[in-house]
């Protein structure tokens, strides 16, 4: 797996070639020229801002920048409010549909086929073909055009806001032919005037790129992959081309690791371990067919950057089927950036590289299962339970192979409290039958996670399970049945398998798999055995379990 060192060196050469490309124009004082030469726009942005990546399915935004340090104007704003309103600048571009006249003949038998994958659905939903559609992306914001400056808009927030510092925004729009492009900024009111100046100055530098601006960059990427060593080359090229300034990439056989981390040891460990885990998943869960899809593993530098990219609140990482990305952050570096209040909330716990790897092993399972069973999700107890199960993997330093699976430090104490004392206890039947909305309900999600993990761990390691002719086969029966059932449901659809019908097929497959798995099973007996096993299981971290009064 450490062949990635060679590719990393090659990437340095790519950067050198890109740097040699002449800049389109001199950036204003205090501004930097945007360096992505494969995009259709060129511009300069304030040096006090840092570029953050955009999801690969984004259809309108070209680049996004966030203010690096809290400005003097905002010093009195509570950090939590400021973080929610941190000044940002966004460059956008889209093409408007040319108006038509006359009434054409309509083929009443023709109907537009819906998207067939989550990615296609996201891309379709994100497309904009008019100024009105663009405005709707902003929800409760109103654009007020300056009568003296056509194309300049004050952005007025019309929604509810429970803080003294209100959101404010400013936008400049340009148009050439059917293409609309521009830049807008959103910030706390206290910083609005300064940011308006940034927006206007950025807009002054904003223009379509020259036709040959991307040739050197494209040639450098072609050279990087000329050996033919890696598959999905076009996917890899596109992901590299879209990387913001300061981000790097490492190739492995089945992944492209895109990172903003200075922790070389962690990145190299991830490059090795993600392949080791994938091989292990394949042993446990043979895929329904050849797995040709390649995914991005995105490592943000900090938890804050992770949330700026789109990481959901109260999560440490996620797999996104639409973006085809596994996203998390450098936990050990994040530990260095926490303020006193954040450290206090952690208590005795510390964020380390082990936490980053734990999330990697969990989320990589979701990525694998998605493709292994036909690009849909099994029940969440199976998906999240196995994600947490594999998060306890120990990969050998010398062998690069999974040596064993330990308990999850993030779940064991919640599971024990649930099974021993009844704290938030969820009956096994409810855990197994829960669909997404129920499983992830904020008031109970931690108990569903703990229940799912402990049940999977029980089925994998319980002596009672190994000795039971039916219990010992439950996980395999579910997996085999859900794969076969989904394939059968999709085949029934023929050429009409759009995303909506596939999602229905997935629901039917899940129900069929659960029914077959539990056929003839005494569920109350299984629940009692599981609950007792969790209470009795050895706790490797007893000092970290919350003391009961």
Looking at residue 210, what is its pLDDT? 77
Q: Give 247's Cβ-side CA count (13 Å radius).
A: 25
Q: Which residues of the chain have pLDDT under 50?
A: 1-24, 100-111
What single-letter DSSP state applies at residue 54? -
- Indicate the pTM of the whole model: 0.85
The domain boundary, picked from 333, 354, 372, lies at: 372
Is 198 in the same domain as 275? no
Q: Is residue 364 part of a domain?
A: yes
pLDDT at 211: 65
In a domain, 223, yes or no: no
Domain membership flag for residue 241: yes
Domain boundary among 372, 400, 418: 372
Q: How far is CA 77 from CA 35, 71, 161, 173, 302, in A?
A: 33, 10, 14, 30, 22
pLDDT for position 213: 57
Q: Are residues 368 and 408 in the same domain?
A: no
Could you tell me if residue 15 is inside a domain?
no
* One domain, residues 320 and 443: no
Residue 7 lies in a domain: no
DSSP 415-483: HHHHHHH-TT---HHHHHH--HHHHT-TTTHHHHHHHHHHHHHHHHH-HHHHT-TTGGGHHHHHHHHHH
What is the distance between the alpha carbons of residues 301 and 18, in angstroms, rounded to a whole number?
23
Is residue 107 assigned to a domain? no
CA-CA distance, 262 to 246, in Å (whole number)? 10
131 and 266 housed in the same domain: no
By DSSP bridging, strand 295-300 and strand 325-329 are parallel
Q: Are 298 and 338 in contact (CB under 8 A)?
A: no
Residues 456 and 413 in one domain: yes
Q: Are residues 33 and 175 in the same domain?
A: yes
Do 53 and 93 lie in one domain? The reply is: yes
CA separation for the pair 152, 166 (Å, rounded): 21
The count of domains in the chain is 3
Same domain, 206 and 239: no
pLDDT score, position 214: 64
Which CA distances in Å does 202 have to 27, 40, 148, 199, 410? 10, 16, 19, 5, 45
- Cα radius of gyration (the chain): 26
Q: Is 201 domain-assigned? A: yes
- Residue 106 inside a domain? The answer is no
CA distances from 48 to 31, 70, 188, 433, 484 (A): 8, 10, 16, 50, 54
Give the domain range for residue 385: 379-542
Give the end of a domain, one of 148, 179, 213: 213
Contact between 326 and 298 under an 8 Å Cβ cutoff? The reply is yes
Same domain, 294 and 147: no
**Residues 191, 253 share a domain:** no
Q: How far is CA 529 from CA 189, 388, 419, 464, in A?
A: 59, 21, 11, 8
In this structure, the chain runs to a length of 549
Residue 284, domain CATH:
3.40.30.160
The predicted structure's pLDDT at residue 292: 85
pLDDT score of 20: 34
Nearest to 270 by CA among 356, 181, 378: 356
Contact 246, 262 (CB under 8 A): no
Do 176 and 313 belong together in one domain? no
Name the residue with tokens 């993030």.
410
Residue 24's pLDDT is 42
User: What is the structure's pLDDT at 98?
Assistant: 61
Same domain, 360 and 387: no
């Amino acid at each position: 797996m450490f062949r990635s060192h060679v590719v990393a060196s090659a990437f340095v050469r790519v950067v050198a070639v890109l740097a040699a490309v002449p800049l389109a124009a001199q950036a204003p004082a205090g501004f930097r020229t945007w360096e992505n030469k494969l995009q259709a726009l060129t511009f300069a942005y304030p040096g006090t801002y840092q570029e953050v990546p955009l999801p690969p399915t984004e259809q309108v935004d070209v680049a996004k920048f966030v203010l690096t340090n809290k400005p003097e104007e905002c010093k009195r704003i509570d950090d939590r409010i400021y973080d929610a309103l941190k000044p940002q600048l966004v460059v956008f571009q889209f093409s408007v549909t040319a108006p038509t006249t006359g009434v054409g003949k309509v083929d009443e038998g023709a109907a537009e086929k819906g998207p067939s994958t989550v990615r296609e659905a996201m891309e379709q939903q994100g497309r904009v073909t008019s100024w009105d559609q663009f405005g709707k992306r902003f929800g409760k914001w109103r654009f007020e055009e300056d009568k003296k400056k056509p194309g300049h808009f004050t952005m007025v927030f019309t929604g509810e806001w429970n803080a003294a510092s209100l959101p404010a925004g400013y936008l400049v729009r340009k148009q050439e032919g059917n293409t609309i492009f521009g830049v807008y900024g959103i910030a706390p009111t206290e910083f609005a005037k300064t940011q308006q100046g940034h927006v206007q100055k950025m807009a002054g530098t904003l223009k379509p790129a020259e036709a040959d601006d991307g040739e050197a960059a494209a040639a450098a990427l072609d050279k990087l992959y000329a050996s033919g060593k890696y598959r999905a080359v076009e996917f890899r090229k596109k992901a590299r081309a879209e990387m913001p300034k300061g981000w790097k990439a490492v190739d492995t056989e089945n992944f492209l690791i895109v990172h903003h981390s200075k922790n070389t040891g962690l990145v190299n460990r991830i490059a090795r371990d993600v392949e080791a885990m994938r091989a292990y998943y394949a042993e446990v869960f043979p895929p329904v067919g050849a797995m040709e899809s390649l995914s991005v593993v995105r490592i943000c530098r900090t938890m804050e950057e992770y949330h700026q990219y789109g990481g959901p609140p109260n999560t440490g990482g996620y797999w996104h089927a639409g973006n085809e990305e596994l996203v998390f952050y450098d936990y050990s570096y994040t530990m260095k950036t926490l303020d006193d209040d954040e450290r206090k909330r952690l208590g005795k716990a510390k964020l380390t590289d082990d936490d980053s790897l734990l999330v990697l092993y969990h989320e990589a399972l979701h990525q694998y299962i998605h493709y292994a069973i036909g690009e849909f999700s099994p029940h969440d107890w199976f998906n999240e339970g196995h994600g947490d199960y594999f998060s306890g993997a120990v990969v050998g330093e010398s062998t690069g192979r999974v040596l064993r699976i330990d308990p999850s430090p993030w779940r064991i104490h919640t599971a024990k409290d649930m099974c021993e004392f009844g704290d938030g206890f969820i009956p096994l039947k409810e855990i197994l039958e829960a669909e997404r909305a129920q499983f992830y309900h904020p008031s109970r999600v931690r108990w569903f996670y703990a229940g799912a993990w402990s049940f999977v761990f029980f089925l994998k390691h319980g002596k009672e399970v190994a000795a039971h002719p039916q219990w010992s086969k439950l996980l395999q029966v579910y997996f085999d049945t859900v794969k076969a059932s989904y394939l059968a449901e999709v085949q029934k659809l023929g050429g009409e398998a759009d995303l909506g019908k596939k999602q229905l097929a997935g629901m039917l497959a899940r129900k069929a798999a659960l029914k077959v798995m539990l056929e003839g099973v005494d569920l109350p007996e299984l629940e009692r055995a599981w609950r007792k096993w969790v209470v009795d299981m050895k706790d490797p971290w007893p000092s970290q379990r919350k003391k009961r009064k």
